[in-house]
Amino acid sequence: MHRLRFAPSPTGYLHVGGARTALFNWLFVKHYGGQFLLRVEDTDRARSTEASTRAIFEGLEWLGLAWDEAVVHQGANLAQHRADAQRLLERGAAYRCFCTPDEIEARRREAEASGDAFKYDRRCDRLPADELARRVAAGMPFVVRFRVPDGETSWDDVVHGVITFPNKDIEDFVVLRSDGTPIYNMAVVSDDIAMRITLVMRGDDHISNTPKQIMLYEALGAALPRFAHLPMIHGVDGKKLSKRHGATAVGDYRHMGILPQAMLNFLALLGWSPGNDIEVMTVPQMIELFSTEGLSKKAAIFDPKKLEWMNGQHLSLLASEALAPLVTDALTNAGLATADQFTSKRAWLIALIDLLKVRSRTIDDIVRQAAPYLSAHVSYDPEAVAKQWKDRPTTVELLSSLRNTLAAIEPWEPPAMEEALRTQAEQRGVGAGKLFQPLRVALTGLTVSAGIFDVLALLGRDRALARIDDALNYLRS
């Protein structure tokens, strides 16, 4: 049984890069079977916050990436980490190092000054037994260093294939600080063993940690998991994604009106390809199609434009009924409507969404376009007025005439409207657009909207006529 885990450190919001890593872990488990676990790596007390932990949970929940079993808090496993480090010491795989940070730093500077790469010289490992005993007895502070064995360390990475590191390039790294707390690599390995993780899938910035971790597994006598190192996600400038690139937290996109399934679909395509030129997928399709074969090695650049397009695709994939709650929420938040406003007008709301979603890429786009249909009056876009109501007397005459025609239409439905209005255009010897555009401005205040008959239908006869009256008043004043 596969057991994978997503292990974010709660030092900020759920980042798109983290979300993508979580997604691939989740997809793997959903496709191949197994458990998807969540571990919060909160051992950096200085940077970890409760708020961040909550934000990560919320982000994952919003995306629908549900985890199995209870969340593991790394900070709670300190005793286990320490015990594992102690075992390392007992087995002779690690040793006590009494060098102080200042001493190490001084030697490092010295080495750099002479152009050499610094590597801990293992001097404390050569301490005579009696001296070692004396220092321990005297209670001298020490860190525990792992004694890197000779040879080389390699593994068959699921995405990169075989990667090999000569051990001589790895120094005896610290596994336990002088205060007895574990260093990252120790904590990770200890936890992954305890959680019985079978596949460690994470960002490829961890590639160089991997040989150290493998050595730890081996020294601890634990079975090795497999490793899969996913490529990073960069900003448009090719640099590591940061706040400078604008929205990088998944929550930001949620608030911009992006659908979670679109976010997932977009993220999935960053570093993975199902092949066959498939792009737009539902979540079940992604699970079905997911394969480690399609994983890419190359860092990808986050393109918000394509995300928006993707969202538009998912918007049209979704039934307006399903969109309704999201739209009402957004409308409410925008102060354009109240939820109970729609309880009696559900069919009307659905019709409105039908009209708007095809010309929207986000929920927010829908909200922006909804204003003319919800408010009592419209405000006229100056450019629209300038362009479509250029000659006021003519426009007044036209709108008045249109008003009369509209008032007599029966039933109040698009086919009847279309016939009446087109007939009128013919009688006037002008193209239909000459009527529709000025009318559109009267109805919506804008030169762009859904088809004019749909707008009329949605507005209802009374409001449509009232809008025309408003326009007439405006034009005469």
Partner RNA sequence: GGCGGUAUCGUCUAGGGGACCAGGACGGAGCCCUCUCAAGGCUCAAACACGGGUUCGAAUCCCGUUACCGCUACCA
Stretch 408-427 residues interacting with RNA (CB under 7 A): none
Q: With binding defined as CB under 7 A, does residue 99 bind RNA?
A: yes
Q: Are 270 and 20 in contact (CB under 8 A)?
A: yes
**What angle is formed at CA 352 by the lines to CA 350 and CA 358, rounded to 5 degrees?**
100
Residue 38 has which token pair? 């969540």
**Minimum distance, C-beta of residue 382 to RNA, in the bound complex (Å):** 16
**Minimum distance, C-beta of residue 299 to RNA, in the bound complex (Å):** 6
187 or 219, CB closer to RNA?
187
**Minimum distance, C-beta of residue 286 to RNA, in the bound complex (Å):** 14
**Minimum distance, C-beta of residue 339 to RNA, in the bound complex (Å):** 26
What's the rounded Cα separation, in Å, for the pair 257 and 319?
A: 16
**Minimum distance, C-beta of residue 98 to RNA, in the bound complex (Å):** 8
Choose one: 55-63, 165-173, 318-326, 402-410; the region binding RNA (CB under 7 A). Answer: 165-173
Residue 464 has which token pair? 């449509």
- Figure out which of the listed residues 25, 43, 153, 190 binds RNA, where binding follows CB under 7 A: 43
Residue 153's H or E segment, with its range, is strand 152-157
Site string for RNA, 206-245 (x = CB under 7 A): xxxx---------------------xx-x---xxx-----
Backbone angles phi, psi at 59, to 5 degrees: -60, -45
Q: With binding defined as CB under 7 A, does residue 312 bind RNA?
A: yes
Residues in the chain: 477
Site string for RNA, 346-385 (x = CB under 7 A): ------------xxx-------------------------
75 or 341, CB closer to RNA?
75
Q: With binding defined as CB under 7 A, does residue 261 bind RNA?
A: no
Span 431-460, contacts to RNA by CB under 7 A: 431-433, 436-437, 440, 447-454
What's the rounded Cα separation, in Å, for the pair 43 and 187?
A: 9
Q: Indicate if the alpha-carbon torsion angle 146, 150, 152, 154 is positive or negative.
A: negative
Nearest to 263 by CA among 23, 6, 5, 13: 23
Choose one: 246-254, 264-272, 371-379, 462-470; the region binding RNA (CB under 7 A). Answer: 264-272
**Minimum distance, C-beta of residue 419 to RNA, in the bound complex (Å):** 12
Q: With binding defined as CB under 7 A, does residue 82 bind RNA?
A: no
92 or 115, CB closer to RNA?
115
Q: With binding defined as CB under 7 A, does residue 31 bind RNA?
A: no
What's the rounded Cα separation, in Å, for the pair 296 and 269?
A: 10
Q: With binding defined as CB under 7 A, does residue 277 bind RNA?
A: yes
Set 168, 239, 243, 345: catalytic member: 243
30 is catalytic: no
Backbone angles phi, psi at 6, to 5 degrees: -110, 130
What's the rounded Cα separation, in Å, for the pair 119 and 213?
A: 18
- Figure out which of the listed residues 31, 222, 251, 294 binds RNA, where binding follows CB under 7 A: 294
Q: Are 323 and 354 in contact (CB under 8 A)?
A: no
Q: Which residues contact 82 (CB under 8 A, 6 or more apart)?
A: 176, 180, 181, 182
- Figure out which of the listed residues 204, 216, 327, 464 binds RNA, where binding follows CB under 7 A: 204
Nearest to 439 by CA among 422, 426, 429, 427: 422
Q: With binding defined as CB under 7 A, does residue 270 bind RNA?
A: yes
Q: Are 94 and 85 in contact (CB under 8 A)?
A: yes
What's the rounded Cα separation, in Å, for the pair 95 and 5?
A: 30
Q: Tell how strand 300-301 and strand 233-234 pair up.
A: parallel
Site string for RNA, 317-346 (x = CB under 7 A): ------------------------------
169 or 343, CB closer to RNA?
169
Q: Which position has the token pair 């336990």?
A: 176
Strand partners, 211: none
104 or 326, CB closer to RNA?
104
Distance in Å from the first CA to the final CA of the chain: 77
Choose one: 65-73, 243-251, 272-280, 389-397; the region binding RNA (CB under 7 A). Answer: 272-280
Applying CB under 7 A, the site for RNA has a residue count of 86
Catalytic sites, residue numbers: 243
